[in-house]
Structures are given as structure tokens and as C-alpha cells.
Amino acid sequence: MKAHAHLTVELDAAGRSVVRTLRSAAPLTLVPVRGEPVVHLVGSAASPLGGDELTLTVRVGPGACLTLAGIAATVALPGPHGEESHTTVHIELGEEATVAYLPEPTVITRRARHESLLTVTLAEGARLHMRETVVLGRAGEAGGDLTTALHVTRAGRPVLRQSLAVTRELLMGRRVVATALCTNDMSETASGEWWSRTRLAAGGTLTTALADDAVTAARRLGATCRQGTCSTLPRS
């Protein structure tokens, strides 16, 4: 299955953030919340399945605000012939735009092979908060293979380029890795039990937490990184 969904948010004449373009493509279904700059990302079919190629393109205009949030976990399933599935998300922010990208956890089931790519382009003054949680396997199940890449630039300059091949060995025996990127966070580098926060040279912080379950991982992130919707993120 190949699917490409599109979302565009801009300011209207009254200065409110409104959805200008919303085109779902099953299994990527976009559901806006009436009267709010919030769109829910809903998986309308079992996906990603081995061989699937899913793409989401998001553009947020200058000064506009968007919270793009999931409502249920994504479960990556193996294909009948061992094919790899691919999910690509492109997010483009105009000047002074704000985006909170908050998908629910992705579960990599046994024998699944999945590749995830997130690219973000920030204009000057734009703010991003994103959270990603990966769970290796369902309860009592060994996880499959996952490769993730996160590429973020601001005005053509690199903010973060990170690629990971996620395995139990990489996670030191834990099942869950959660990361949060906060481009407006000025907190210093710090670490604690199964979490660390790194201050980025180009501004912002990257926080990583390991845990045996997604709830614990989210709690560790919440204690160490400024989180929230686009309307609550500080403008620093």
C-alpha cells in the first residue's frame, strides 16, 4: 500500500490558525478539532504492514500554530514475504510558527521490519516540540527490526541529524525508548536514572528515556522536558 496525506495550516484574517488543506489517504486519516488548531492522526486500517509506504506532509504558515497528535498506538506488522515498511513525515514551519507533533507509541512486532523518517524544516523564530516513543514487541513478544532517522534544520542550518537502528542491545535490555525534541528549551544538559537531556549547539534540547513500558518512559520525559500543545509552548 502507498499513501500520501497532506495538511496545511495558516493564519486567517483574524489571526487564528485554521486548516487550509486537509487530505487524508487511508490508512493516514486526519481529523481536525472544530475551533482549535488541533488535528488528530488516526490509523484507519492495520498499518504499517510490510511493503507499505506511508507519507505525511505538513506545512504550517508564518505565525500559525498546530498540535498534531495521535489517538492510538501504531502497530508495525510483518509482510507476507519479509518486506520492509516505510513511514515518512515531512513538517515545514514558517517564520514564528509553532508545532507540537505528538504521535502515540509505535509498536514493532515480531518479524516486522520498519523504517521511520521525520524531517523538519524550521524558518527563523519557529518552534517545535516533538515526541516519539518506540516499543519493541507486544507484551511477551520479541520486537522486530526498526531504523529511525530524525533530520531537523533551521533556515538551512542543521539542528539535529540522528539515525538509530533500535535493538534490545541498544536499549540495554529495555523494551521502550522515548525521545523528545524541544527547539525552544534552554535547559542545561543533565541525566538521571534511565534518562538523559542534551543541549543542542543550534538551540533546544533532545531528551531520551529508556523504560520497560511506555507509561514509565513518558513519565521520565515529562519530568525532564518542557512538553505541551502548541498553545502552551513557551516562546523563549
Q: Which helix (H) or strand (E) holds 48?
A: none
Residue type, 149: A
The overall average pLDDT reported for the chain is 91
Cell numbers at 103, concatenated = 504521535
**173 vs 106 pLDDT, higher one:** 106
Q: What is the pLDDT of residue 225?
A: 60
Q: Cell triple for residue 113?
A: 521490519
- Residue 75, C-beta contacts closer than 8 angstroms, at least 6 positions apart: 46, 106, 107, 109, 138
pLDDT for the residue 17: 96
* Residues counted in the chain: 236
**What pTM does this model have?**
0.92
Query: Are residues 196 and 225 in contact, defined by beta-carbon separation less than 8 angstroms?
Result: no
Q: Which residue has the higher pLDDT, 28 or 236?
A: 28
Position 223 scores a pLDDT of 65
The dihedral built from the CA positions of residue 124, 153, 5 and 41, taken in this order, carries a sign that is: negative
Are residues 24 and 30 in contact, defined by beta-carbon separation less than 8 angstroms? yes
State yes or no: pLDDT of 176 exceeds 90. Answer: yes
| pLDDT interval class at 232 (50, 70, 90) | low
Helix intervals (H) in the chain: 214-224
Question: Does 180 have pLDDT greater than 60?
Answer: yes
Residue 26 has pLDDT above 70, yes or no: yes
Q: Determine the average pLDDT of the residues in 76-105.
A: 94
Residue 167 — pLDDT band, cuts 50, 70, 90? Answer: confident
Cell numbers 488548531 correspond to 37
Using DSSP's 3-state secondary structure scheme, residue 212 falls into coil
Q: What residues does 3 pair with on adjacent strands?
A: 54
What are the tens digits of pLDDT across the range 135-154? Answer: 998 888 888 999 999 999 99
Q: What is the rounded distance in angstroms from the CA atom of residue 197 to the CA atom of residue 205?
A: 7
Across 5-33, average pLDDT: 96
